[in-house]
Chains A and B, each alone.
Chain A
Amino acid sequence: MNLIMKLAWRNIWRNKRRSALTMAAISFAVMAAVSMRGLQIGTYELNIDNSVSIYSGYIQIQHPDYYASPSLSHSFNPDKKLISYINTNPHIIAFSRRINADGLISSGENTFGAMLTGIQPDAELKVTTMLDKVNDGEIFIRPDTYDILVGYKLLQNLKVRIGDEIIILAQGLDGSMGNDRFRITGTIKTGAEEFDAYGVLVGIETLQEMLYMHNRVTALTIRLDDVNNLNIVSDELKPAAGLNSVLTWGNLMPELRDAIALDNISGILFLLILFLIVAFGIINTILMSVIERFNEFGVNLAIGMPHYKLVLVVFAETVLITITALAFGNILGFAINYYIVLNPIQFSGDIANLYLEYGFLPEMRSSLQISMFIQTSVITLIISLLSAIYPCVKLYKLEPLKGIRYT
């Protein structure tokens, strides 16, 4: 083995230029893959974070039937054990209680259907950004007042102004028609059409009283320190949640999940093609470098070196070149990604406005996720080794005489 490594190492140095070019090609591919992938993953994270942060949160705990049939009868009373578990989990930054209910909002002539969300303003500020999306007016602070925030389109449709009073009507948990008079303190603009046209934020205690919910909620919404801890935390939460279901953002926002899945496909397609080209480059380089040395290899075989040792030398060369290239590629890729993480690519002009209009952030960010570097490296190494197979098969079939005589 020692001998093989020595030969391989020296062979690489013997033809510095060719080795350097091969390394450069692989490094470039790794760098391109890592930075493209980083941009994708980073932008996904950004979009997930942005979309998830507005309303749904990363994880919600719900009554097991609420997802299929969202009605107040599928609300639950979070027990102390669950709350204290959530409070002690190191990956959970904050959580909030929520009630979602359908209702009517009415001002004199105009009545519209409304999506009522009962919130604890102080907790909600730590969990989601919906209260940061105040367009006009101001947020209410206490969960037990008759102040509300409404979507900015809803305000227009109701033909009322901030400060005006409106009536909300909704069917309570006991089937009774809860109704009360509320004062609009401000409007929200999230970019999500549904929310802007139908969303109403109410203090949770007021809503619980109006809908005869006592301490029941329809969801506990949880904010994580890092989206990458999603699966860990959701698995950890399951036993504490008991019969209640633990839903992740993918369940809560399937359109976003699907949109990302679609974009991911084209990203992976790109990487496939990039690696295909690099693989071809590697095959050709190794093939040429093997063929070029057929005379030399022929002599080696003639003096009694077994074929497999020659093949191992070529494989060792490939591995050494690839590993060196991986180091360079990953360092470069990391540097690029690190730069983009610190200085996200900002869109400007029409596209930026359009993005903002629909609630997306007009920027692209990168990622430094370790698994991405590892995956890319492993794939590259495998591709390199696969690429070495064909040249090595040719080498394995080489007869000593043919090698010596090869021109």
Chain B
Amino acid sequence: MILKLSFIIFFLNASSLAQTAEEIITKAENAIKGKTAKGFVSMTVKTPDYERTLKMENWWIGNEKALIVIKSPKKEAGNKTLKIGNEMWNYLRNTGTTIKIPPSMMLQSWNGSDFTNDDLVRESNLNEDYFIRLIGSEAVEGNNCWKIELTPKPDAPVVWGKLEYWVSKQEILPVRVNYYDENSKLVRHMLFSENKKFSGRIIPSRWMMINDLKKDHITSFILEDMAFDVVISDNIFSFRELERGD
């Protein structure tokens, strides 16, 4: 018991005193993603032409595997997206079929959002692909934050020239991420807000992706219910599961 307690104290010290930039990023990312995650999310896509909301149930195992099942609106309910590694399949409830997304369609928007199919597949491991450097402290939306710069490693297959990542010092949670191209032009940014408690963990519940090149293209996610680091059976990421209509 003492041992356990002292362990925790040691950990707390480490986190508040001698954090490296890598550790901050890892913590922030792990906080919102977990090793595994499942939950209900609603996605609102706003473009000059339309605005719509999808409600979805998700299962994630890291960046490796994911299953997304659409719950509403009615006409799309039951549609599923399965991601395994670099590949993607769509299950269409309406026609009861599974379609593997061919490479030529990877750049199509995923369900009308600001994300392409490719964005979902390629969601990379920040520690692996970037050099991470703490460059200062800054207040963002009233939060005292670390400002961390991530520059891609030479061989990393990421399109960005640079990321700027703000992590709140208090909760060690992501607050804002800026995505730049190689010429340091801001291409898009993501805002995290409305911290909520899900299964004992406080994380931002509203994630907003704002396109800085195309006006009025915003995709926001609202986490309605989340559970992290729960045991998820590998069976869920199978074709049989995919094609099982609910």
Direct interface between A and B, CB < 8 A: yes
Q: Whole-angstrom distance between the alpha carbons of A179 and B105 in the complex?
A: 15
CB distance from A99 to the nearest CB of B (A): 15
Chain B residues whose C-beta falls within 8 Å of the C-beta of A102 in the assembled complex: 108
A111 contact from B75, B79, B99, B113, Cβ within 8 A: B99
Q: Report the stretch among A169-177, A183-191, A300-308 that lies at the interface.
A: A169-177
Return the CB mask of B34-54 against A: 1 if under 8 Å, else 0: 000000000001011110100
Of the four ranges (under 10, 10 to 19, 20 to 34, 35 or more), the interface on chain A belongs to: 10 to 19
The B61-110 residues at the A interface (CB cut-off 8 A) are: 73, 75-76, 79, 90, 92, 94-95, 97, 99-102, 104-105, 108-109
Chain B residues whose C-beta falls within 8 Å of the C-beta of A169 in the assembled complex: 90, 92, 99
Chain A residues whose C-beta falls within 8 Å of the C-beta of B108 in the assembled complex: 102, 171
Decide if B102 touches A174 in the complex (CB within 8 Å). no
The number of residues on chain B lying at the interface, defined by a beta carbon within 8 Å of a beta carbon of chain A, is 26
Chain B residues whose C-beta falls within 8 Å of the C-beta of A122 in the assembled complex: none
Decide if A176 touches B99 in the complex (CB within 8 Å). no
Decide if B47 touches A73 in the complex (CB within 8 Å). yes
Decide if B75 touches A176 in the complex (CB within 8 Å). yes
Decide if B76 touches A177 in the complex (CB within 8 Å). yes
| B112: interface (CB < 8 Å) | yes
Chain B residues whose C-beta falls within 8 Å of the C-beta of A181 in the assembled complex: 94-95, 97
Decide if B49 touches A113 in the complex (CB within 8 Å). no
Q: Whole-angstrom distance between the alpha carbons of A176 and B52 in the complex?
A: 9
Q: Whole-angstrom distance between the alpha carbons of A172 and B45 in the complex?
A: 13
| A136: interface (CB < 8 Å) | no
Closest to B92 in A: A179
B99 contact from A106, A174, A175, A180, Cβ within 8 A: A106
Chain A residues whose C-beta falls within 8 Å of the C-beta of B48 in the assembled complex: 73
Decide if A104 touches B112 in the complex (CB within 8 Å). no
Chain A to chain B: the 10 pairs with minimum beta-carbon distance, closest first: A175-B112, A73-B49, A179-B92, A106-B99, A181-B95, A167-B97, A174-B50, A113-B104, A167-B95, A111-B99
Cβ contacts A to B, 28 pairs, < 8 Å: A73-B48, A104-B99, A104-B101, A104-B105, A111-B99, A111-B102, A113-B102, A113-B104, A113-B105, A167-B92, A169-B92, A173-B49, A174-B52, A175-B45, A175-B47, A175-B50, A175-B109, A175-B111, A175-B112, A176-B52, A176-B75, A176-B76, A176-B111, A176-B112, A177-B90, A179-B97, A180-B95, A181-B95
Q: 15 extra interchain contacts, Cβ-Cβ under 8 A, other than A172-B112, A173-B49?
A: A73-B50, A104-B99, A111-B99, A111-B100, A113-B104, A167-B92, A167-B95, A171-B109, A174-B52, A175-B50, A175-B111, A177-B111, A179-B94, A181-B94, A181-B97
